[in-house]
Amino acid sequence: MSRNLIKGVILVGIGVLSVFLLANIAMGKVKVVIGGYSNTEITLDGEKIGRGTALARMFMQENPDIDLEYQEAAMGGRDIHTVLTTMLEAKDSTFDIMTADVVWTAQYPKMGWVYPLDEIFPPSEQKGYQLSMIETWTKGGHIYALPFHGGFHVLFYRKDLLENAGMQPPKTWPQLVDIAKKLQKPPKLYGFSAFWQIDLDIPFLEMLWSQGGRLWKEGQVTINGPEGVNALQFMYDMLNTYKILQPGATSGGFSDCLNIWTEGMAVFHEQWYWDTPAGMDPGSKIKGKVGMIGIPKFSDTSPEPGYGALGGWSWAVNSYSKHLKETLEVIKWLKQPRVAKWMALYWHNPPALMSVMRDPEVAKGYPFSDVYTQLMPNTKERFPEYDYFQEWQDRAFKEFGAALLGQKSIKDALDTTARFISKWTGLPRKY
């Protein structure tokens, strides 16, 4: 065999071996999957792309050894909870990382479904995040998630309407009712746009809390005490006596309530803090006309300030992940301030990392970021300590809804709810 022929055979052999090795390297590339909420399309560099897909693509450009994929597990909190819980109960490892709602914090750590992040997310870094979110994800001295989307309920109001009428923003719920009654002109302008459907527990809790009331206190269920009766009665009066809510407030969908507000058809609007209710959407009819304050106190004599119901989302690691090392590398990347900033700009959610919230570029999209930061201490979990949030929300919707529609007395609705809470928590009822 000639020297040239032998050389050619060797070169071909090397080429085949190279292809084989490259193929094996590619096949051995570890895949990490995020199971997240809605992969909503955003426009990035002129391209329409799912926001989660864009995040994964950005990661892989910087980390070519890990294949990151974002899969939409479901559109919103309730549905994604069902999907993820079913998988976790079966010890399924399909999703290595999950977008986790703040209302799951009593359940997921307790069940051992989420991996503690102590080693990669120390207290020195936790201090820079929305404190209430860190506290709720800390169980038994361990931190179980990395917050990325902060949130709690606030009160938006039509600044132009109040200023023209020479009125100040309300500090109490009775003051809000008084202003709403004076300014509303239904059906063109309602006093208060509210989503009193699935989230019916939120306004009730906020009125309960500032009176010093709680679902349970000092080892006893107290929801059906005088503070609870006052709260639910006042909600009934807002709907039926003062008539300041929009039609369908207790039966319409979330978007129906939001549209009333964004179309300029309400004086007040209670909502999570994000850009749309703040009137930041292009072409918004309320742009430049909106103010924002915290949730009002129940009355001038309330012993505590007004509290906003806590919301928000975090990154949590599936305890059953088969690629824990690589998954934690993804979490390390996600907690970088520049990534949090990108998410704040393109996912349109207020960041849980406070340095990002103060970033001038980010603040442009969140016009009340200074007010938001000041209100953070006045937030509370909706159903703390016990892993029955979904059951609580459903029961509140059923019982409170019946009371608001006059199908059940206020006290009966609260007594029934108290019996269920007593069963879930194992705590005796005080009233």
Helix H, strand E, coil C: the string for 253-289 is: CHHHHHHHHHCCCEEEEEEECCCCCCCCCCCCCCCCC
One fold for 30-144+312-376 and 153-307+382-425: yes
The Cα 110–Cα 101 span in angstroms is 15
- Write down the domain spans for the chain: 30-144+312-376, 153-307+382-425
**Lowest mean pLDDT across 79-83, 235-239, 362-366:** 362-366
The pLDDT tens digits of the residues spanning 253-292 come to 888 999 999 999 999 999 999 878 888 887 789 999 999 9
Between 107 and 23, where is the model more confident?
107
Among positive and negative, which fits the CA dihedral 288, 294, 299, 301? negative
Mean pLDDT of the chain: 92
Across 107-114, average pLDDT = 97
The Cα 294–Cα 98 span in angstroms is 30
User: Per CATH, is 30-144+312-376 categorized as 3.40.50.300?
Assistant: no
Phi, psi of 379 (to 5 degrees): -130, 150
- How high is the pLDDT of residue 1? 46
- How high is the pLDDT of residue 279? 87
The Cα 141–Cα 308 span in angstroms is 26
The pLDDT tens digits of the residues spanning 292-326 come to 999 999 999 999 999 999 999 999 999 999 999 99
Nearest partner of 119 among 313, 323, 329, judged by Cα: 329
pLDDT at 338 exceeding the cut of 70: yes
The Cα 156–Cα 269 span in angstroms is 5
pLDDT at 154 exceeding the cut of 90: yes
pLDDT at 23 exceeding the cut of 60: no
Amino acid sitting at position 235:
M
pLDDT at 8 exceeding the cut of 60: no
The pLDDT tens digits of the residues spanning 37-46 come to 999 999 998 9
Across 138-148, average pLDDT = 97
User: Per CATH, is 153-307+382-425 categorized as 3.40.190.10?
Assistant: yes
- How high is the pLDDT of residue 27? 54
